[in-house]
Amino acid sequence: MSAAEALKVARAAGVRLGIDGDALALEAATAPPPAVLDLLAQHKAGIIALLRPANDGWSGEDWLSFFDERAGIASSAGRLSREQAKARAFECCVVEWLNRNPVRSPPSRCLGCGQTEHSRDPLLPFGTEPTGHAWLHSRCWPAWHESRKAKAVAELATIGVHGPGTRR
Ligand SMILES: [Zn+2]
């Protein structure tokens, strides 16, 4: 069982969880079953990591619930198989991660190859206005964008959000 699953089991048993400094804080109306407490003790570090928000403002748990929500929408609205719905949900997570972790760069140098602008090869702004732009040559953008997506996939994997075909 993963920390994320242990967290779900505890929630289902009526335990409210939070973090208090470096410790896991529990709250429950009635004493949780010993099996649930054992599970929490066993996955304590992983659960704390899931509940702590990262620089982009979302905790691992936020990502997992976003994934579940998207997968639910995809399977009910899109009539997709479970695997297809998961794949769609994972794509949404990657897009959301990229939106939440924008890259800004000065317009004087290409972020891909590190070269300056040439008359035949202008630098173009990629990204959206509120978060600023990353400046690249158009030919450098596809590789750079792929590397950003790979980064998103790797970061999501560390919090237990996996794409299709990867082992859980
Ligand atoms: Zn370039």
Digit-by-digit pLDDT tens for the chain (168 residues) are: 888 889 989 999 999 999 888 889 999 998 899 999 999 999 999 999 889 988 889 999 999 999 999 999 988 887 888 899 999 999 999 999 999 999 999 999 999 999 998 888 899 998 877 778 999 999 999 999 999 999 999 999 888 898 876 554
Residue 139: its pLDDT value, please?
94
**Ligand 1 centroid from CA 101, angstroms:** 21
**Ligand 1 centroid from CA 4, angstroms:** 40
| DSSP code, position 137 | E
In sequence order, which residues have a C-beta less than 8 Å from that of residue 67 and are 6 or more positions away?
89, 90, 92, 93, 161
**Ligand 1 centroid from CA 105, angstroms:** 12
d(CA 112, CA 97): 20
Q: Which of 19, 94, 4, 11 is nearest to 53 (CA)?
A: 19
d(CA 106, CA 33): 56
User: What tokens does 69 get?
Assistant: 């929500």
Residues of the chain by 3-state class (helix, strand, coil), percent to 5: 50, 15, 35
**Ligand 1 centroid from CA 102, angstroms:** 18
Residue 132: its pLDDT value, please?
81
Residue 21: its pLDDT value, please?
83
**Ligand 1 centroid from CA 112, angstroms:** 5
**Ligand 1 centroid from CA 143, angstroms:** 10
Q: Specify which residues 118 forms β-bridges with.
A: 121
Residue 131: its pLDDT value, please?
73
Handedness of CA 137, 142, 90, 53 (dihedral sign): negative
Residue 160: its pLDDT value, please?
82
